[in-house]
Amino acid sequence: MSVVTALDPRVPLTTRPMRDGERDGINYHFLTEEEFTKLENQNALKESGTYKNFHYGALKPSASSFTAIYDDAATARSEEGKILSGATKAVNKLQSTILKRGPDGHWNLEVAGGLQDGQLLLLWNENKLGYQLVNTIRPLQKYDGIIAIDGQSVAGRNITDALDLLRNAGDMVEVTILLRDGVTNHASLDEFVRPSPTDSDELKHVKEDVRRDIYHSTVPYTTRAPREGETNGVDYNFVTRDAFEKMIQAGEIFEYGERDGIYYGTRRVTIETQNEAGTIAAQRKSKFRQSQAHRNANPTTSAPKKLVVKHAGGVQALGATLVETSNGVFVSAVQSQSPASAAGLSAGMQILAVDGHDVSHSTLDVVRQRLDQLHDQFDLIVRFNPRAFSLASEALIKQVGKDTVNTVILDRNGSNGWGLHLTGGVEEGELVHLDQLGDVNYVAVSGRDLEAGDAIIAIDGVTVAGSSLTHVANLLRDHEHDVELTVIYNQDITSLKLVDFFHAADPRNKVLSALRDDVREATYRSTVPYTTRAPREGEADGVQYHFINREQFKQMQRDGRFIEWGERNGVLYGTATTAATASNAKGPARSMSKVRRAVAAKEGTAELVQTVLLARDESGNWGFELAGGIEAGRLLTVVNVSKPRQLAYMRPMKEGDHLLAINGVSVAGAPLSFAQGLLEVEGKDVELTLLSADAKQGDLRKVFDASNQNPDEELRLLQADVRADIYEHRVPYTTRVPREGEMDGVDYHFVSRETFMDMKTKGLFLESGELNGVLYGTSMVGNSRNKQRFSRMRHHSTMRRSTRPRRITIECGADEPFGLEISEDHAAGGTVVVGVAEHGAAERAGVRPGMHIVKVAGKDFSSRPVDEVAEALHDARQANGRVELVTRYIPSVRDAKRTLSSSSDYVPPSRLASSSGVVFDEREEEIPPLPAAAEPSTCTRVHLWSTPRSHSTALMYSFAQRTDTRVFDEPAYGHWLKKHPDAKRPYRDQVVAEQETDVDALVANVLRGPVDANVAFYKHIAKHFEGLPDDLLDEGVHVILVRNPVQVLNSWREQAEPSIDELAYLDALRIFSKLRQRGRKAIVVDADQLRVRPDLVLSELCRSIGIEFQKNMLQWPEGPKKYDGCWAPVWYKSVHRSTGFNASEETPRALPAEFHSLVEDCFAVYTTLQRHALGGQLSNSILAAQTVSDHGIQMPVLPDARNASILASINGVLTPRAFAAVSAFDSAVQGGDAVWEGLRVYNGRIFNLDKHLDRLVDSAKAMGFADIPTREAITQEVVRTLAANNMRDGVHIRLTLSRGLKTTSSMNPRFNVYGSTLIVLPEWKPVEGVATYDNSTGVRLITASQRRNPPQCLDSKIHHCNLINNILPKIQANSAGAADAIMLDVDGFVCETNATNIFAIKNKVVYTPAADFCLPGTTRATTIYICQKLGLTVQERRVTLSELHAADEVFTTGTMGELTPVFEIDGRSICTGAGPITRQIQQEFRAMTKELGAPLPDF
């Protein structure tokens, strides 16, 4: 007998001794002379030779990954514990194993250990090592460790977690195994995880998996004090230092460490410690995480899957191009409408097995031979392995000739430049290529000199094919001297578009094929891909993926917006032709991206607006001058251009171009001096946004000319920038009177109408207009405000990005601080500079407020919290008094920037002098700065109509944190108080005095007046709508906020006497109804759902409004706000103590009895509105489990959309679906104490109605119902319900009769004194629909482990609603991917499935289980009648499971699905589709449904 030993065909063989540092099985397989000779004799070597008297060779990649080379004597030696010379000692080596389910659906695995035992998960039975399909090194052995299952780490999880993953897997599963050759014991986790200097990289990854799993499953311990918001036993177990040290001494700590004098550690997890209250919150189950060990062992591979290929004619007719790499055989291309395409084969898939034979390491010839031997139908096991597949392109590029791909080495020229003008890049969907050539200093050229149109594919060997233009420019800028460029000549490129390279399918063009792979890799690195799957834990939309729904993805496909796309496990993935880079995903507010997308779709955009990256020349000048400006009535214009150093551009800057923005700061309508001042303070380089002179928009008056009343998107953005800049830099004129607090010459120039018209006649206004009889205008003369504002047009630029990163070095004296104030910013996704000390080290270095800190001392801190950034700054200052930063401006935080003075009261000087450089702002909160004033037509107005005490103020605070929003606190309160003089409020007089009480003025000046923000948020109490015009509902967006009246009453009664009018539920319902009547969208928010998942509900709310969700909406500063109403001290005490939505459970409180009737009155209205809320009928637990994505709240999808608006009958009351419910005291709820029937309606007839009613009544009698409606009454209600829904065909009815309401919760029928409850639930449900069965192809069945109830326990002839005996088998069927499960009786004979009766046909004899243990179905009886009519022999008897396995045909019967063929039972193939006899019976049944049944009247 031979021993099967792991010999990897990819590792060469040798008979020489092993040298220092070499590892057996890694560098070579070290064999004896005898072993090598044996392999030669077995013809197992692909090649062999001799060098210095030692043999060398390479194995053939065979159908098996293993070669047997040892005999019985060798086996005896191994059993004695001696390692054989030449045997692979794979201790602690990772491999991938693919297992398949056995015939019984089981994996045949026995596993022991797990976190609960403090041990590694191990294979524990040498006779149960699974059905192994593919192994990458050797077959499994006892004591091997299970590290990951389908990529999900289980290295440090409980054994139940691993079993759950296996139970829910498909037919096959990929298991990452830690091979532990020579180890014959358990692996204690605490010993195993300890690092060792001899650990391999693989073993380090495994230990990291164990460590992370334990940290995810347990609550760590610490000796520090809890921080704000942390909960003991949830975030950490907070213990004293003495207690921690005692735990260490007692050996209770699994792993621990010390940082800044604070201990951190993780306790050992055992069965005993898990039961200690308050010690470990390990019961909170975390989600599975991706295994690092699996990811490194199997880089970027997918789980294996089985494809069924149907074709004849060998490999040539398959329609797939195969290539061989060092990693195996891969599919490189698939022909459309070929057998390979129909089976689901696609490029990038590795072929692992062909019809059950392992070919994972076989040659291309072997795979082709196996495919040529197969005909008709066969199975392929495949998986995606893009990293290995990319080696194919590497092989191709090695064959590219020097005449096509060229290498050029350049040095900087006399002007310290490269002489290269570049264009293209992923932003434009093109390769980066040469636009113009200047003074190029060649060092070496392997071919010809560079020419315009040559494409750059690599810089110093780093691929840039598919990179952004900015990335290439930065790489060139960072080289001080020589740089090597790899280029493809222009004559060899038919198109510079990236999409052309992705679709260059000709494999003979090896240049394009290799370049395509480079483009693919670079594009994936520099862009954010799209997917239709839901975000996983820790993933952020726009960073890891753009998460969109399937319909949006398909539309993008149809629009040709994808370079490449594909489908994996039912999920679509794709890369867009132009996409936001991952580094920019946390940059500008995402609402701007909509503008960019809209403009980018227009032709010619790239020629008009562009971004130029410019560097100072040797003299420190920019190489151009400016003219024009607001004082000249013109856009700023570029003049006297004298060889500027342009680092990157879409086209060169030229005379006459108009300057729109400097580093994102808009100067479109700014004075000349303002722009010159910005350029003076910039560092070595600057980003300019330019409008081409060809746009012919230099005159500011022309920008607002009457001929531009319907501007295109580009001109509209330019108008918005110019208008906003003018308002920032010039004080506008108006004819209205000053309001309280306004100052002439500061807020407006207040002039008479005559003066205004005189100025207009003289042409002094750039723009003027009239609003509500008041004139407004902006002149070219007036006081300067000199404010900076972020440019809209910069986002319109063809480079479309936030400001590029810049390096800054801060140096300070011995006792000098850096002088920085930093803070976390949600919009930036990290830490930003919010203040700098005047004349301090940071300011001298060029640090400015609004900068996002990307790197500190070369390390990435772009998304790190402020404490870690502060610590890094502190360490750098302590070390050498200097630090190098990489920063970028973030537009969303630039408006918040400010400069600090070391003597200012703004921040105490002692704080500025802190060694950490962090300053905490302790001032009273300021209202955030707002964007420039928005025109009434462009401002999004959001009206919140709330019931009181419903978290409306918290929602207002949330919107106030947005960078584009201004909030208004109950602006109609004064108007309402004036209409209700009897309403008692302690602040009445102050509100009436401060607010507009005239309804016309309120609407014109406040609710419809100018707003200095893009979004205006008006918080109202619903009752304040009284007296306001209904046409207000035709404008803006209206949100209704409601809360459970029990919670509202408990809060309200502390301040005022409650009543139906004060609680405003009826007012909220009136607003809701009026909106629906006017065809307007009414957005409803449930306050309790908002409290449980504020991020998800706010994201969905913003999506419904049409604005982008901003993460800073989730938190606000504690304390009063300047935009609070004067009633805040009375009502806002609790919200002033908050800093966000409180997701914790509210304190239970008793509701006084006198309020019960008021709760009932309000509850009906609350229920009506809540049914329409975002997230509607989802439970809080389901809502809490969802992740935030662009899809918003994920609502269930109905199998048939028509059923969303059906009417159901409940005890004779026709009820809309949203309100179709029975009481919690109904017997059906209390104990499943009800009977039911399923009916079908065909072509205006109810089929078998009498038989169904007979069984319903018989079942009710058997259960002793006291109140049973007559058959006529039931029929009448069924017909009435169908008529109300206009249903005549393709309908299924669920008819339920319960024992009725109880007087108290109990199973005792004596408490049923109200009479029975009849429910008629009709649904549109075609016979072969989503919710039924496939009656053409058929279904797969398994056998359930549960037995059918015998009559002595519960007679199956009673058609009752207590269906747990049926539901449990259905769960098993779902888990196994089957339609239903066959149920056996207590003696092991077949009864029926969990939902249907079952028939079998053998030798033209039809047999079905006798109705002893099963329900005698009406469709079953009809089928028996049809068989007899057709002259078929029918046997009703006991049927064994093996008879079903061996049957010629099997089908099931039921009212919902009719007759459904079965093609597989327990893995045994029965029949493909419906057999001939089954089809004959189906045809007869369908004919009967067309003619028979109780006819419906006309309606």
Q: pLDDT tens across 690-730, in order?
A: 888 776 666 766 665 544 455 565 566 666 666 666 655 56
At 1234, is the pLDDT very low, low, confident or very high (cuts 50, 70, 90)? very high
At 554, is the pLDDT very low, low, confident or very high (cuts 50, 70, 90)? confident
Contact 610, 648 (CB under 8 A): no
At 912, is the pLDDT very low, low, confident or very high (cuts 50, 70, 90)? very low
pLDDT tens digits for range 145-168: 898 887 788 888 888 888 888 887
At 894, is the pLDDT very low, low, confident or very high (cuts 50, 70, 90)? very low
Compute the distance between CA of residue 1004 and CA of residue 1029 in angstroms, rounded to an integer.
11
Residue 417 has pLDDT above 70, yes or no: yes
Q: Note the pLDDT of residue 338.
A: 84
Q: Note the pLDDT of residue 786.
A: 40
Pairwise pLDDT comparison (814 vs 400), residue with the higher score: 814
Q: What percent of the chain has pLDDT over 70?
A: 76
Q: Note the pLDDT of residue 712.
A: 60
Pairwise pLDDT comparison (1100 vs 791), residue with the higher score: 1100
At 523, is the pLDDT very low, low, confident or very high (cuts 50, 70, 90)? low
Q: How many CB atoms neighbour CB 972 within 10 A? A: 26
Residue 1326 has pLDDT above 50, yes or no: yes
First-to-last CA distance in the chain?
82
Q: How many CB atoms neighbour CB 1465 within 10 A? A: 22
pLDDT tens digits for range 1452-1489: 999 999 999 999 999 999 988 899 999 999 999 999 99
Q: How many CA atoms lie within 13 A of 159 on its CB side?
A: 18
Q: Note the pLDDT of residue 977.
A: 92
pLDDT tens digits for range 663-677: 767 787 777 877 887
pLDDT tens digits for range 861-889: 877 888 888 888 888 877 777 888 888 76
**In Å, how far are 1093, 1175, 1203, 1233 from 1085, measured between CA atoms?**
12, 8, 24, 36
Pairwise pLDDT comparison (261 vs 1211), residue with the higher score: 1211
Q: Note the pLDDT of residue 1484.
A: 94
Pairwise pLDDT comparison (1123 vs 197), residue with the higher score: 1123
Contact 668, 791 (CB under 8 A): yes
Residue 898 has pLDDT above 70, yes or no: no
Asked which of 27-36, 378-387, 1122-1131, 1195-1204 is least confident by mean pLDDT, the reply is: 378-387
What are residue 138's phi and psi, to 5 degrees?
-150, 165
Q: Note the pLDDT of residue 1387.
A: 92
Mean pLDDT (the chain, rounded): 76
776: part of which helix (H) or strand (E)? Answer: strand 774-779
Closest CA to 1324 of 1244, 1213, 1241: 1241
Q: Note the pLDDT of residue 212.
A: 75
pLDDT tens digits for range 825-861: 765 678 888 888 877 788 777 787 778 888 888 787 8
Average pLDDT over residues 810-831: 76
Q: Is the dihedral of CA 884, 889, 890, 894 positive or negative?
A: positive
At 805, is the pLDDT very low, low, confident or very high (cuts 50, 70, 90)? low
Exposure class string for 197-215: b at 16+ Cβ within 10 A, else e: eeeeebbebbbbbbbbbbe
Most confidently modeled range among 334-338, 705-709, 714-718, 987-991: 987-991
Average pLDDT over residues 1007-1029: 92
Pairwise pLDDT comparison (255 vs 244), residue with the higher score: 244
Residue 939 has pLDDT above 80, yes or no: yes
Residue 137 has pLDDT above 50, yes or no: yes
Average pLDDT over residues 765-793: 60
Asked which of 509-513, 638-642, 923-927, 930-934 is least confident by mean pLDDT, the reply is: 923-927
pLDDT tens digits for range 119-136: 888 888 888 888 887 676
Q: Note the pLDDT of residue 509.
A: 52
Tokens at 445, concatenated: 């050229």
Asked which of 1065-1074, 1178-1187, 1347-1356 is least confident by mean pLDDT, the reply is: 1178-1187
Compute the distance between CA of residue 288 and CA of residue 154 in angstroms, rounded to an integer.
8
Exposure class string for 76-99: b at 16+ Cβ within 10 A, else e: ebbeeeeebebbbebebbbbbbbb
Strands 253-259 and 262-267: antiparallel
Q: What percent of the chain has pLDDT over 90?
A: 22
Tokens at 1383, concatenated: 């149920």
Compute the distance between CA of residue 977 and CA of residue 970 in angstroms, rounded to an integer.
12
**In Å, how far are 316, 735, 782, 874, 1011 from 751, measured between CA atoms?**
87, 5, 13, 56, 22
- Count the helices and strands in the chain (H runs, E runs): 45, 73
Average pLDDT over residues 762-769: 75
Contact 1317, 1213 (CB under 8 A): no
Pairwise pLDDT comparison (278 vs 437), residue with the higher score: 437
